[in-house]
């Protein structure tokens, strides 16, 4: 299906009329994905010299938004309806052309979406999207724009050719009705063009193609289908265009860097953040956890953003959203593919959104002068097989409760409740328990967090406790397998009986 290509000025003007012809049911109705043939998961294999690594087929779950990179997918939601006015096969947001070899870094084996005369486009297979949040300063470019010259500080440049400040791999899987968000720490030590360095250098050195190749190699051959790049200016403007987002700030955040005019000053507690404040929240990494703590907060932000903006009310903001993303987003997604992703993300249940973090550990100053996140390849292989393969893991990683590291984060401010929960877990064989930090946000419903992505073990703990909800995300204690974030439902249920 082809629609006449319109100039940008007319495209903005036609957004409301275009949307008036669009069934809004795709934002709220249940999906009926096309059946797909089953495929076998692929593990890592040895290869001959000069031979390309075997590409691993993949799978995906829900949730659009991105913390710098995370907003790359909220940008997808914003552009979707407006792009009804251009050719569905066009890629109007690609800011830089890819060479033939660069385009080859992205999987082109089969179309990822289909459309018909009586329905909007929809996904036809699992899709992996690499989202890069890019920060470029005036000191990073050879030619500083005239308006940024002589300012006396390192100003942000509207460019995509710099270090990746945030990196996400999103997997949309219509076969399982899931959306997986894998956070990739910027300081991950890995190979980029055969050189051991930080993963965030790949975009600077070779653009989205090299970033895709480096991420694929790190994950053992997972194929990357498309990319989205968004710069930090775009994140701020996009959050404003979406009307802001309400999120719990877990701690006071204060940082000042006069050389960049970077000023962060947020108080702890739930609050509505505008674009500038959201950017402060997403960029803050100046505590003991560094970039890893920032990834945890970004996951909190992504979930809040998706729940608050992926709804029909966002349609009224599309003209403003479109004007933002035209200048601040670069992607090789076509209009049809964007629409398919929007429809899928808007319909995905919250319970089917799974947010992971690349398994690894902090480096020590004794090992490296620079700070790195050292990937755990055995754990990465297991995570990739489960979430980016073609089956669904239904068995817990261990059947021995004593080997499960369980952290407790209390939000009830009730020491008796924490003691009762600890005793209940110990009586059931969970002996490796520790009490972690107290949450600043009171939770009405407890959360059983699968910190390392082990949803089966989290379900076992959930069934035993009989309270709360399971969340597959990395917002719990870093050195835990399962984190129980204790809420008020404990005192109303099992806790009282103990």
Q: What is the pLDDT of residues 433-488, one digit of tens each?
A: 999 999 999 999 999 999 999 999 999 999 999 999 999 999 999 999 999 999 99
Per the structure block, which two tokens stand in for 497?
């009986």
Q: In terms of C-beta density within 10 A (0-12 exposed, 13-18 middle, 19 or more buried), how is residue 51 classed? A: exposed
What is the average per-residue pLDDT within 303-318?
76
Q: In terms of C-beta density within 10 A (0-12 exposed, 13-18 middle, 19 or more buried), how is residue 448 classed? A: buried
Q: In terms of C-beta density within 10 A (0-12 exposed, 13-18 middle, 19 or more buried), how is residue 314 classed? A: buried
Report how far residue 478's alpha carbon sits from residue 73's, in angstroms, rounded to the nearest whole number: 26
| CATH 3.30.70.2390 for the 401-497 domain, yes or no | yes
Fold of 52-387: Aminopeptidase (3.40.630)
Which has the higher per-residue pLDDT, 167 or 141? 167
Report how far residue 167's alpha carbon sits from residue 435's, in angstroms, rounded to the nearest whole number: 31
Listed range (75-89, 215-229, 446-460) with the worst mean pLDDT? 75-89
Question: Does position 48 have pLDDT exceeding 50, yes or no?
Answer: no
Residues of the chain with CATH 3.30.70.2390: 401-497
Question: Does position 11 have pLDDT exceeding 60, yes or no?
Answer: no
Per the structure block, which two tokens stand in for 114?
């289909």
What are the tens digits of pLDDT across the range 148-193?
999 999 999 999 999 999 999 999 999 999 999 999 999 999 999 9
Residues of the chain with CATH 3.40.630.190: 52-387
């Amino acid at each position: 299906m082809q629609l006449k290509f319109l100039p940008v000025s007319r495209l903005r003007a036609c957004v409301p009329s275009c949307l008036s012809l669009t069934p809004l049911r795709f934002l709220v109705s249940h999906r009926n994905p096309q059946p797909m043939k089953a495929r076998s998961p692929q593990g890592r294999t040895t290869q001959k010299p000069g031979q390309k690594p075997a590409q691993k087929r993949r799978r995906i779950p829900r949730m659009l938004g991105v913390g710098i990179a995370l907003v790359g997918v909220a940008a997808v939601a914003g552009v979707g309806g407006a792009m009804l006015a251009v050719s569905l096969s066009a890629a109007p947001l690609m800011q830089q052309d890819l060479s033939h070899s660069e385009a080859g870094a992205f999987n082109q084996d089969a179309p990822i979406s289909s459309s018909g005369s009586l329905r909007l486009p929809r996904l036809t297979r699992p899709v992996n999207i690499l989202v890069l949040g890019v920060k470029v300063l005036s000191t990073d470019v050879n030619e500083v724009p005239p308006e940024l010259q002589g300012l006396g500080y390192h100003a942000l440049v509207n460019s995509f050719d710099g270090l990746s400040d945030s990196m996400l791999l999103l997997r949309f899987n219509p076969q399982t009705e899931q959306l997986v968000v894998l956070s990739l720490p910027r300081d991950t030590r890995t190979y980029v063009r055969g050189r051991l360095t930080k993963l965030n250098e790949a975009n600077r050195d070779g653009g989205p193609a090299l970033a895709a190749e480096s991420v694929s190699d790190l994950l053992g051959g997972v194929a990357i289908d498309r990319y989205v790049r968004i710069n930090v200016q775009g994140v701020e403007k996009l959050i404003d265009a979406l009307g802001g987002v309400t999120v719990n700030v877990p701690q006071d955040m204060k940082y000042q860097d006069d050389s960049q005019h970077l000023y962060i000053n947020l108080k702890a507690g739930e609050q509505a953040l505008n674009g500038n404040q959201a950017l402060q929240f997403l960029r803050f990494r100046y505590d003991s956890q560094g970039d890893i703590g920032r990834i945890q907060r970004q996951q909190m932000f992504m979930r809040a953003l998706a729940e608050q903006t992926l709804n029909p009310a966002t349609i009224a903001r599309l003209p403003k959203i479109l004007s933002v993303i035209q200048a601040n987003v670069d992607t090789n997604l076509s209009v049809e593919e964007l629409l398919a992703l929007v429809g899928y993300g808007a319909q995905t249940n919250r319970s089917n959104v799974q947010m992971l973090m690349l398994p690894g550990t902090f480096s020590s100053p004794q090992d490296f002068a620079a700070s790195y996140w050292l990937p755990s390849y055995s754990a990465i292989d297991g995570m990739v097989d489960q979430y980016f393969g073609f089956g669904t893991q239904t068995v817990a990683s261990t059947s021995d409760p004593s080997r499960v590291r369980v952290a407790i984060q209390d939000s009830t401010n009730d020491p008796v409740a924490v003691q009762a929960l600890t005793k209940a877990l110990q009586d059931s064989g969970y002996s490796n328990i520790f009490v972690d930090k107290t949450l600043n946000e009171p939770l009405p419903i407890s959360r059983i967090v699968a910190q390392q992505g082990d949803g089966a073990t989290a379900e076992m703990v959930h069934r035993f406790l009989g309270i709360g909800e399971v969340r597959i995300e990395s917002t719990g204690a870093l050195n835990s397998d399962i984190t129980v974030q204790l809420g008020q439902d404990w005192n109303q249920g099992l806790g009282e009986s103990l």
